[in-house]
Structure 1
Amino acid sequence: MNELNRPKGFGQILDVTFRLSRTRFKDFFLILLILLGPVYLIQALVQLATGTSFFREVGEGNGWFEQMVAGLEESDPAFSSNIAADIGVMLVGLISLFLYPVAQAAILYGVDHVRKNEEFTFGTLIKKGFSRFWAIIGSSILYGIIVTGLFFGTIMSIVLMSFVLFAIDPVIGVIVTIILSIGAILFVGYFSTRWSFYFGSVVIDRNSPGLGRSWKLSQGRTWASMGLYIIFFLIISSITFAIELSFALLLGGSVLLGLIVSLATIFTTLIMSVGYAVMYLDLKSRHDADDLKDLIDDYHVGQ
């Protein structure tokens, strides 16, 4: 039996994710490069057009290290007052918001084809990803609104309660605020995770918006799924930080550094997308197996 068709433990999901990322690297990387590569290229052209050096960007300073740090600060959008550059960054970000879900859907279809032992090409996967474009975008917007509302609602509640407690006793206010903050992180993380598999439901099961389906699939596996999200986040953050820091020492805040970081982002996005697909299919195999057991039990009872 294909291992994607049977329930897996925490470590097995990580193992399958990295194995699939390696064996299917070419197809999945091409998907991301075709869809997101032009976006990063536009970003590089905007940087060049607004005066950023291609090979090395340094600022003023007495030493090489001071020049490198100054160059990074000057090339950072937070330190820039160039309106054209800011508009370019916003435009690139907006385009990415629409193309990234398509790329993730294409990879999800690819992992599902592997599960079914079906052949595929990166071109057919991209077409299938675009076939669910509006359902994906609409469901993603709904999910984003719900999670954002949940986050800000929780934050406001903590701020109000903390304000009252600080007025009564500052020490108690600090202690309770810390406890409430930890609880808020777990609370928001729990519900965000329970609904986060809407995407797989919209793509694979063609069930929009997929929030109810996600809630059912993640039952009993919420904390394990949250733990996997954290592990993937730490892995891709470490890779991105290491690459960006290493090349920044040589290239400063140049356009070339941006292109290298963009390639690293494509690589880490590949890992995260494959990881999500493996997680979703694992939950799906567990849920479908439970449904099959219920049907068998009902059949025996009816006899």
Structure 2
Amino acid sequence: MNTQFNRPKGFGEILDHTFRLSKSHFTKFFLILLIVLGPIYLLQAIADFMSGTNFFREVGVGGPWYEQIISGFDQSAEADYEEFTPTSLIANLIFIIGGLISVFVAPVGGAAILIGVDRLRKKEEFTVKSALKQAFSRYWPILGSSLLFGVIVFGMIIGPIFISGFVGIFGAVANPFLGILMAILLFLGFAVGIGYFLTRWSFFFASVVLETDSPGLSRSWRLTRNRGWICMGIYFVFILITSSVSFAIELSFGLLLGNSVLLMIIGDLVSLFTTVILSVGFAVMYFDLKVRNDADDLDEMMDEYTAIQ
């Protein structure tokens, strides 16, 4: 077993291990996501081009270059509302259908990356094909558990939003400043609480993929015992890093390309890149939790001792 996986790691070590794994095996991980989501992104790009969006650059006319780019975004948005043609209708349907399909196939990509990291942990060779094949073999448990988790997320979010809005509206009647302040504080409190509980349940996915434990929520809750806040902090750092990278790259290319098809393709590729980091980071966190809770490191030493004897 890879020695980097068989000992508990600190906050910084998890981040470092994630980025080293992502860098060393980026081609395979990226290719997995490209195979799963690439056809959907390509189809959506073709639909966008068919609807009239320029491929290389979409800018307005007149004024400095930055005003032309902003005008290009405005004109594209206006065209979406004003030009109702059979072509635009088909393009919109393709976008909607593509988005729905991605909900059902995206978990397979994450599962395949998780399987790939698991094989690296065991010092086994893995191919993109074998990882995807194993991920598809667990498709229905993965889909069912993911949909259940999605329902839980929706239920936990919609309630606090309604309560915060209710408090803000009725509190503002008595005192506008106090009402808005209470609504904001209440919303932030709910956000932290929801984030904590979702973090505790989030490792259900790895349990379903690797341990054949469906839906895996109770298993995830046990794994994250005494590590909930730390895992939540690591999630926050990963999201902050990947969001900053996405924003910087898309903003830079957006200034050059405007609201073009090429910008959309670049955005999709950046999304795949950041998803690789998040998926590998999730896997590293999961195996760290297993070492802490299941004593995998002791099992490995016992296996090695038996082999020597």
Specify if TM > 0.5. yes
Q: Per-residue CA shift, 1:23-52, capped at 9, x if unaligned?
A: 111211111111111111111111111111
The correspondence for 1:284, drawn from 282, 290, 298, is: 290
Matched residue, 2:13: 12
Q: Number of residue pairs matched?
A: 292
Answer yes or no: is the 8 Å Cα contact 1:61–1:70 preserved in 2.
no
Aligned pair 1:114/2:120, yes or no?
A: yes
C-alpha deviation, 1:142, in angstroms: 0.5
- Between 1:158-167 and 1:63-72, the stretch displaced more is 158-167
Q: Per-residue CA shift, 1:214-240, capped at 9, x if unaligned?
A: 111111111111111111111111111
The correspondence for 1:193, drawn from 183, 194, 199, is: 199
The correspondence for 1:232, drawn from 232, 238, 241, is: 238
Where does 1:154-165 land on structure 2 (aligned, <5 Å)? 154-165=160-171
Q: Distance in 1 between matches of 2:261 and 2:39?
A: 15
Q: Give the 3 Å change call, closer, same or farther, for CA 53–168 of structure 1 in structure 2.
A: closer
Q: Structure 2: state its 5+ residue gaps.
A: 82-87, 300-309
Specify the code of the residue in structure 1 equivalent to 2:100. L
Where does 1:118-137 land on structure 2 (aligned, <5 Å)? 118-137=124-143
Q: Give the 3 Å change call, closer, same or farther, for CA 50–168 of structure 1 in structure 2.
A: closer
RMSD: 2.1
Matched residue, 2:70: 69
C-alpha deviation, 1:91, in angstroms: 1.5
Specify the code of the residue in structure 2 equivalent to 1:14. L
Q: Distance in 2 between matches of 1:97 and 1:15?
A: 30
Q: Distance in 2 between matches of 1:222 and 1:79?
A: 47
Where does 1:23-102 land on structure 2 (aligned, <5 Å)? 23-76=24-77, 80-81=80-81, 82-102=88-108
C-alpha deviation, 1:264, in angstroms: 1.2
Q: Distance in 2 between matches of 1:171 and 1:114?
A: 55
Answer yes or no: is the 8 Å Cα contact 2:238–2:278 preserved in 1.
yes
Q: Give the 3 Å change call, closer, same or farther, for CA 64–161 of structure 1 in structure 2.
A: closer
| Aligned-partner SS, 2:263 | helix
Aligned pair 1:210/2:216, yes or no?
A: yes
C-alpha deviation, 1:164, in angstroms: 4.5
Q: Give the 3 Å change call, closer, same or farther, for CA 255–161 of structure 1 in structure 2.
A: closer
Aligned pair 1:271/2:254, yes or no?
A: no
Q: Per-residue CA shift, 1:253-273, capped at 9, x if unaligned?
A: 111111112111111111111
C-alpha deviation, 1:9, in angstroms: 0.8
Q: Give the 3 Å change call, closer, same or farther, for CA 168–64 of structure 1 in structure 2.
A: closer
Specify the code of the residue in structure 1 equivalent to 2:194. V
C-alpha deviation, 1:170, in angstroms: 4.2
C-alpha deviation, 1:176, in angstroms: 2.8
- Between 1:164-173 and 1:29-38, the stretch displaced more is 164-173
Q: Distance in 2 between matches of 1:142 and 1:79?
A: 38
Specify the code of the residue in structure 2 equivalent to 1:217. L
Answer yes or no: is the 8 Å Cα contact 2:7–2:297 preserved in 1.
no
Q: Give the 3 Å change call, closer, same or farther, for CA 173–110 of structure 1 in structure 2.
A: same
Aligned pair 1:181/2:187, yes or no?
A: yes
Q: Structure 1: state its 5+ residue gaps.
A: 294-303
Q: Distance in 1 between matches of 2:111 and 2:238?
A: 18
C-alpha deviation, 1:277, in angstroms: 0.7
Specify the code of the residue in structure 2 equivalent to 1:176. M
